[in-house]
A and B are shown apart, each in its own frame.
Chain A
């Protein structure tokens, strides 16, 4: 699988045009379906910016998307396609849940330990994928799919074993001391569930940028991703780089899980499917070109659109899924810039003729 072409630097022109085209195409679909696109986009914007609560909740949607984007992006940069972020999230939730329900620690410290354990669970789950790829040569695509399901059922097993809230399909609540909600900010944002993750995600983006571009390990990671043969020739341990990278990727995923448990829901529900956030992370990473700033921006865009889509059905009677389509269109245009150029060629020719 050649992932290299994803990394090729391209001008900002293509993504911006892609976003505009995506929204326009979405509007056309709505028109064709007999909806009012202007009203729909209006209600979307109202939903996002309507109140401090909404802004807070929109950011709450953005945080895990950026994290998942980083998790997918870092593995892409090492030449791996990680569709196992979902599983890493589950393991992160499980780790945080165990610490949050089974231990008694002083407030701040309890949350910190729970986050760290969640991150570690996710990291190890990711590292397992890297390890199997490095030592056995098993495609990371297959292992991460399998590990997603295994994580799902393993987590259910653990919850059923000793953390089940009797008579419900969910776990016990975490102890209050383990909560990572930031109450003064939440109050400020009209009760939106704001948690430590807001700050940690910024640290994660900075970490990603510095790690990849300024450190020895980042240099190794990029070399392995672009040319594993050259990496071997340069004396790098490709296996170690793969495991290390997948560990970091898993930590990002694990953090998402920990945030959900400790900062948003306070428990883990028993569900028959994984969250799908990891797959959204693929979209974020691809749209962001696997760079730190790109992932941050695309995470903000996709997160805001996703949150705002809830307002569309309420405000304009448009099914919110239209936003999924818009996101699909945007990534499609980013992935095939030739199509964007094709659409603009008639205009370019005209301007040339005028000159």
Chain B
């Protein structure tokens, strides 16, 4: 093969962090004009590797060759100079700035002493039109959708003349329709001669769009394969290192009486918009209901409305027939609702607290923990923590360990242990597997199903369709603050759900659910 056909080559890249080898002698080649997928679990070392390519980290060993020539990439500036651009998973956009300001930041055109915003806007508009992005250059970032924000990230790289584009988990935040559009955009980019590295853990996307796939596990390259010659099952096994069972094992649900019922609830945001728009649904004992939908369609508000963290303007929420609407979070928690919050670092845990201090977060005021005079019974607290650590197999050096120093999976186990131990009637699980590895995901799913089998009602909110299809017994689709679909995993598929999530199609929904 001609050297010039290789856009980017990594040779033996090694990067160590205290206590961990993030990248262990990684090598691979990106051919010009191909889409090369980098597949691996969370924590496999993909992001570290790309941060090295992009000049944010320096490798301890190894070489990087760009267009056949050895390159020292010691800063993002250098990467940009070499024609490398990165579309980050967590967008690197300054929210109060406009689209144009974000795009030109770092390479601002000048007119006299001033920034030439007008000229820059024109160029942005031009690029936007060339690739069919449809972006308003003068809009501020916090006023445009997530999909649009990603396009700003892409234009940012193109504006700088990037030939090699790195996409880091680009579909994680997109609707199915937006994903389709993104894949189209990527194909167009390749057709124009760009080369793309796609970092992902989603097998479907790889099968659909990538030419080559390099699998990374625990910092090491397992294999580079031609996508046409492989299948999802094989890729998954290489990624995880063992046989993977796609289907979560469970018995059919045996739903009983209604435990939780939302009746025509309305929640308004600060601007007076209905973020939950006359929403109704019911949740039965012994079933898992999955709420599917794209982030930002009212999921957060729905959870917060049920758990009392957000006030409801009108409508009613009944727990076993009794109204709990607009009660305090504490009284709702006391009446039998447990909540696994979607952001465990923000809401679920106090990272600087020990394991035992975190286990009492929801029950610290109970008489078993706090006596009548307001003192906490440390012995009782530690006994509770020790018991939960054992029952839920939380891997920790001890109950006095700072939670912030533990792995994401074990952190989530603490929350789940705490919430299940409350013995609730209803369990609300929001994004319970986000950022976890395969083993931890399996654990979480098993726990949810076990709750269901004990006759509890489980509400699972997730942005991952696969998770919903796997775990839920019934699926409600949330779009624009309303339930637009009510179906079951056996009678639907990703395509149909995708259409409903985008608001293009309705089935069942609020009216039929009654």
Which residues on A are within 8 Å of B, measured CB to CB? 4, 7-8, 214-217, 219, 222-223, 226-227, 229-230, 232-236
Residues in A neighbouring B349, C-beta threshold 8 A: 227, 230
| Pair B353/A226 contact, Cβ less than 8 Å | yes
CA distance A217 to B360 in the complex (A): 14
* Number of residue pairs A-B, CB distance < 8 angstroms: 62
Across the interface, B351 reaches (CB within 8 A) one of A217, A219, A226, A233, namely A226
Interface string of B358-371 (1 = CB under 8 A from A): 00111011000010
Are B348 and A233 closer than 8 Å at their CB atoms?
A: yes
Q: How far is the CA of A226 from the CA of B354 in the complex (A)?
A: 12
**Is the pair A230, B375 in contact by a Cβ cutoff of 8 Å?**
no
> Contact: B350 with A227, CB < 8 Å?
yes
Specify which chain B residues have a CB less than 8 angstroms from the CB of A235 in the assembled complex.
328-330, 333, 362
With an 8 A cutoff between CB atoms, is B346 at the interface? Answer: yes
The 5 closest A-B pairs by CB, nearest first: A235-B330, A233-B347, A235-B329, A216-B370, A227-B350
Which of A7, A232, A235 has the most B CB atoms < 10 Å from its CB?
A235
Categorize the interface residue count of chain B.
20 to 34
**Residue of A whose beta carbon sits closest to that of B341:** A233
Which residues in A have their C-beta under 8 angstroms from that of B341?
A: 233
Name 14 extra pairs, CB < 8 A, besides A230-B348, A233-B347: A215-B376, A216-B365, A216-B375, A216-B376, A219-B376, A222-B350, A223-B361, A227-B346, A227-B351, A229-B347, A230-B349, A232-B347, A233-B309, A235-B362
Distance in Å: Cβ of A138 to nearest Cβ of chain B: 18
A230-B364 Cα distance, complex, nearest whole Å: 13
Binding site for A on B (CB under 8 A): 307, 309, 328-330, 333, 339, 341, 346-353, 357, 360-362, 364-365, 370, 374-376, 378
Tell me the smallest distance from the CB of A247 to a CB of chain B, in Å.
16
Complex CA gap A222/B352 in Å reads 10
Quick one: closest B residue to A7, CB to CB? B352
For A217, the chain B residues whose CB sits under 8 A away are 374
Task: From A215, A216, A234, name the one whose CB has the most chain B CB atoms within 10 angstroms.
Answer: A234
Within the complex, which residue of A8, A216, A230 is in contact with B350, where a contact is CB–CB below 8 Å? Answer: A230
* Minimum CB–CB distance for A219 against chain B, Å: 6
A236 contact set on B, CB distance < 8 A: 330
The reply to whether A230 and B352 contact each other, CB–CB distance below 8 Å, is no
Indicate which residue in B309, B357, B360, B362 contacts A232 across the interface (CB closer than 8 Å): B309
Within the complex, what minimum Cβ distance (angstroms) separates A335 from chain B? Answer: 18
Interfacial chain B residues near A229, Cβ < 8 Å: 346-347
Residues of A within 8 A of B350 (CB): 222-223, 226-227, 230
Is the CB–CB distance between A215 and B362 below 8 Å?
A: no
**Residues from chain B with Cβ under 8 Å of A223 in the complex:** 350, 353, 361
What is the minimal beta-carbon distance from B453 to any residue of chain A, in angstroms? 27
Chain B residues whose CB sits within 8 angstroms of the CB of A216 once the complex forms:
364-365, 370, 374-376
* Nearest-Cβ distance from residue B424 to partner chain A, whole angstroms: 14
Chain B nearest Cβ from A5, distance in angstroms: 9
Residue of B307, B350, B370 with most chain A CB atoms under a 10 A cut-off: B350
Query: In the bound complex, how far is the Cα of B373 from the Cα of A217, in angstroms?
Result: 11
Q: How far is the CB of A346 from chain B (nearest CB, A)?
A: 22
Name the one of B328, B329, B353, B357 contacting A233, with C-beta atoms under 8 angstroms. Answer: B329
- Are A215 and B351 CB-contacts (below 8 A) given A223-B361, A233-B339, A235-B329? no
| Distance to closest chain A CB from B376 (angstroms) | 6
Contacts of A219 in B (CB 8 A): 357, 360, 364, 376
- Cα distance A36–B59 in the bound complex, in angstroms: 52
Q: Across the interface, which residues of B come within 8 angstroms of A226, CB to CB?
A: 350-353
Give the chain B neighbours of A227 by CB distance below 8 A: 346, 349-352
Q: Contacts of B348 on A, CB cut-off 8 Å? A: 230, 233
15 contacts between A and B (CB under 8 A): A4-B352, A214-B378, A216-B364, A217-B374, A219-B364, A222-B353, A226-B351, A227-B349, A232-B309, A233-B307, A233-B309, A233-B341, A233-B347, A234-B361, A235-B329
B347 and A230 form a contact (CB under 8 A) = yes
Q: List, in ascending order, chain B residues with CB within 8 A of A222's CB.
A: 350, 353
Q: Which residues of A contact B365 (CB under 8 A)?
A: 216
Given the interface contacts A4-B352, A8-B352, A223-B350, does A230 sit within 8 Å of B376 by beta carbon? no
Q: In the complex, A230 Cα to B353 Cα: how many Å?
A: 11
CA distance A229 to B309 in the complex (A): 10
**B67 CB to nearest chain A CB (Å):** 40
Task: For the complex formed, measure the closest distance between the CB of B58 and the CB atoms of chain A, giving whole angstroms.
Answer: 20
Residues of A within 8 A of B330 (CB): 235-236
Query: Which of A227, A230, A232 has the most chain B CB within a 10 Å cutoff?
Result: A230
A223 to B350, CA, bound (A): 7
Indicate if the CB atoms of B376 and A214 lie closer than 8 Å: yes
User: Cβ of B374: which chain A residues have Cβ within 8 Å of it?
Assistant: 215-217
Tell me the minimal C-beta distance from A189 to chain B in angstroms: 37
Chain A residue numbers with a CB within 8 Å of B364 are 216, 219, 234
Q: Which residue of A lies closest to B330 (CB)?
A: A235
- Among B362, B375, B378, contact of A234 (Cβ-Cβ < 8 Å): B362
| Closest A residue, CB atoms, query B352 | A226
Q: Which residues of B contact A7 (CB under 8 A)?
A: 352
- Chain A residues positioned under 8 Å from B309 (CB to CB): 232-233
A234 and B376 alpha carbons, distance in the complex (Å)? 16
B378 and A230: CB pair below 8 A? no
**Closest CB of chain A to B326's CB: distance in Å?**
14
Residues in A neighbouring B378, C-beta threshold 8 A: 214
State the CA gap A257–B266 with chains docked (Å): 52
Q: Are A215 and B328 interface neighbours, CB within 8 A? A: no
CA distance A8 to B352 in the complex (A): 8
